[in-house]
Structure 1
Amino acid sequence: MFSVVLIAIAVGLGVWWYPRAPARIVWQGYAEADYVKVGPTQQGLLTAVNVVRGSEVEIGAPLFVQDETADRAARDQAARQLQQARDQLANLESAGKPTEIDQAEANLADARATVERTKVDLDRAQSLIRDGAVTVQTLDQRRADFRSATARVAAMEAALAQARAPMGRQGEIKAQRAAVEAAQAALEMAEWRLSQRRVCSPVRGRVADVLARPGETMAAGAPVVSLLPPGNIFVRFFVPEAYLARIHRGDAVRLNCDRCRAGISARVSFVSPQAEYTPPVIYSEESRAKLVYMIEARPQPEDALLFNPGQPVTVAPAAEVRQP
């Protein structure tokens, strides 16, 4: 009997002295998300919401519509003002009427014919004066007629050039071109404001919440739809101060949750520089009432879909970390 007791004591001592496996390091946390809250760029009446909570949307999918009556009228007004400015510029840059140009060309042709006739008369008078057939006064008159006809040709050429030239002065044309550019910019602004009344999704993700309904007047920037892209889901967990020096931004960790597949990995994206008390939602007997540091880790987008914001998650280091 005594030997049995000795054997039992020896076995107990052996078990007690046998090296124990180190306790598994597990940190408590939960899933969190950065939501994309989409709102209008300008105040207006909400007339339609095209999505429901929980639906999946792609980039460019319509989300909601505001009343666009005033913006449509402003766009039409800007378009008409632009057309008016362009017409005024075309009028300043255009030449005279076709009938005025035809008349100027006809006057020039008549003046040139007169020059030819007076030139012939002058040449004849110069040849006849040697024989005394014409007087000096007649020769002087032929010369005056030729000079007058030549001057009239120059005047008719100037009149034709004026008829063919733009009606406005260069300064007037330059100013009108600036007016056209200003009207074009006003039209582009009106079209942009009109396009903002129909808001589309800037990201791909799930509709987390619809925050307004048709009939409400929304202020500029007020959120109407809250979106949750897969890449915006992350895990927030808390690590005791003793492990803080072993965790760095970019380190790999393993995530585990109820009914999740094994081997989900994530990368540490943020390490809080300030200590805090263990949040009341984290239940851990080892870290209760101790100071901890908040850590954030982001899984791959395809793995992030496995988590829902607020879901409890356990986190373990991917590399071996010994108990301090």
Structure 2
Amino acid sequence: MRTALVAGGALALTALAGCSHQDAPSYQGYVEGEFVYLSSSQAGTLTQLAVTRGQTVGSGISVFTLESGSETAALNQARQQLASARAQLHDIQTGKRPVEIDVTKAQLAQASANARKAALQLTRDEAQFSAGGISRAQLDDSRANAESTAAQVRELSLQIDVARLPGRQQQISAQSAQVEAAQAAVAQAQWKLDQKQVTAPAQGRVYDTLFRVGEWVAAGSPVVQMLPPQNVKVRFFVPETVAGALQPGRALTIHCDGCAADVSAKITYVSNEAEYTPPVIYSNERRSKLVYLVEAHPAVADAEKLRPGQPVAVMLQ
């Protein structure tokens, strides 16, 4: 009898312990992906599609390319215009060419010789006039010729000095503005050309391709749909009694059918508004129907295990 009572007591304690143990509650949810739609700001024919559906690509990898003949020609034209503007600015800053200055120097040498000849002739004519050998009119002509040739020498000397000077500051400023405008045109043409080749902004999986090679792609039309792992999240709903205790950063475990192991995640968002609740006054009996949206992001390394639309069970830690 004593043995039977002890055994019965042990069984009762075991049953009581089993009844007191409760599994951690789980909440139903689903996986959602914030897709990135890759497009170009420029229109053109699709000439190369470098990815396929289901492929994982790295950051900076070329995804697709559009025809760029017009943009390449525009860039070459802008570069030539920039080179021309820079050459004109350099010409203004340096003055005339040495050859042009040499021509003026030769003209100055000729004028100097004429001026010396005119000065000698004036000296002889003055002596002749004093002796009564020539008229005053002839002396006046000799004096005028000497003054004219001397003035021509001074003019050519000044022309050489001016030829060595750079352009006026206003001309240099205006041409410098032309150079800056040409540089901006090159940058704009280069940007438009770069837009014809689109690369992946981050590592991720290609979920769909929306055009085929040879098709015309309008500006802004998505060509590739991809999902970076950091854009994978889980959405689930918890009752009102649980929502108040949840904060961003709290850890949880995600269980999905077919997964080799559960996936860890952290809460990143807790809604402040109830879902699926009509805007009426509710009674205490209906408060259990209030649920709040919660979002959680798994680690980037674990995000590859989840698929958008996949149902999951979430256990809070």
* TM bracket, shorter-chain basis: 0.7 to 0.9
Partner of 2:65 in structure 1? 65
Partner of 1:185 in structure 2? 184
Going from structure 1 to structure 2, the CA distance change for 1:99 and 1:220 (only over 3 Å counts) comes to closer
- Secondary structure at the aligned position of 1:102 is classed as helix
Partner of 2:301 in structure 1? 302
Partner of 2:285 in structure 1? none
Going from structure 1 to structure 2, the CA distance change for 1:106 and 1:69 (only over 3 Å counts) comes to closer
TM-score by length of 2: 0.75
**How far apart in 2 are the matches of 1:90 and 1:41?**
37
- Decide which moves more: 302-311 or 13-22: 13-22
AA paired with 1:30?
Y
Going from structure 1 to structure 2, the CA distance change for 1:69 and 1:160 (only over 3 Å counts) comes to same
Q: Does structure 2 conserve the Cα–Cα contact (< 8 Å) formed by 1:68 and 1:197? A: yes
Partner of 1:56 in structure 2? 56
How far apart are 1:79 and its partner, in Å? 2.2
AA paired with 2:26?
V
TM-score by length of 1: 0.73
AA paired with 1:20?
S
**How far apart in 2 are the matches of 1:59 and 1:190?**
25
**How far apart in 2 are the matches of 1:103 and 1:11?**
125
**How far apart in 1 are the matches of 2:193 and 2:14?**
80
How far apart are 1:192 and its partner, in Å? 1.1
Query: How many residue pairs are counted as aligned between the two chains?
Result: 300
**How far apart in 2 are the matches of 1:221 and 1:149?**
75
Partner of 2:212 in structure 1? 213
Q: Does structure 2 conserve the Cα–Cα contact (< 8 Å) formed by 1:58 and 1:205? A: yes
Partner of 1:174 in structure 2? 173
- Decide which moves more: 196-205 or 41-50: 41-50
Partner of 2:39 in structure 1? 39
Q: Does structure 2 conserve the Cα–Cα contact (< 8 Å) formed by 1:40 and 1:197? A: yes
Going from structure 1 to structure 2, the CA distance change for 1:177 and 1:302 (only over 3 Å counts) comes to same
- Secondary structure at the aligned position of 1:246 is classed as coil
- Secondary structure at the aligned position of 1:180 is classed as helix
**How far apart in 1 are the matches of 2:234 and 2:97?**
78
What is the CA deviation profile of residues 276-307 of structure 1, one whole-angstrom value per residue up to 9, with x for unaligned ones? 239xxxxxxxxxx9332111111111121221
- Secondary structure at the aligned position of 2:184 is classed as helix
Partner of 2:243 in structure 1? 244
Partner of 1:162 in structure 2? 162
RMSD: 4.3
**How far apart in 2 are the matches of 1:107 and 1:154?**
12
What is the CA deviation profile of residues 75-110 of structure 1, one whole-angstrom value per residue up to 9, with x for unaligned ones? 222223223333333443443343332244456678
AA paired with 1:244?
A
AA paired with 2:296?
A
AA paired with 1:43?
A
AA paired with 1:254?
T
Going from structure 1 to structure 2, the CA distance change for 1:151 and 1:249 (only over 3 Å counts) comes to same
- Secondary structure at the aligned position of 1:83 is classed as helix
Partner of 1:122 in structure 2? none
User: Runs of 5+ in structure 1 lacking a partner?
Assistant: 1-5, 118-143, 279-288, 319-324
Q: Does structure 2 conserve the Cα–Cα contact (< 8 Å) formed by 1:104 and 1:163? A: no
How far apart are 1:69 and its partner, in Å? 1.8
Q: Percent identity?
A: 42
**How far apart in 2 are the matches of 1:16 and 1:230?**
46
Going from structure 1 to structure 2, the CA distance change for 1:17 and 1:181 (only over 3 Å counts) comes to closer
Mapping of residues 275-290 of structure 1, within 5 Å: 275-277=274-276, 290=289
What is the CA deviation profile of residues 179-210 of structure 1, one whole-angstrom value per residue up to 9, with x for unaligned ones? 12212211211111011101111111111111
What is the CA deviation profile of residues 203-229 of structure 1, one whole-angstrom value per residue up to 9, with x for unaligned ones? 111111112222332232221111111
**How far apart in 2 are the matches of 1:57 and 1:13?**
60
**How far apart in 1 are the matches of 2:100 and 2:220?**
60
Going from structure 1 to structure 2, the CA distance change for 1:80 and 1:100 (only over 3 Å counts) comes to closer
Partner of 1:314 in structure 2? 313
AA paired with 1:218?
V
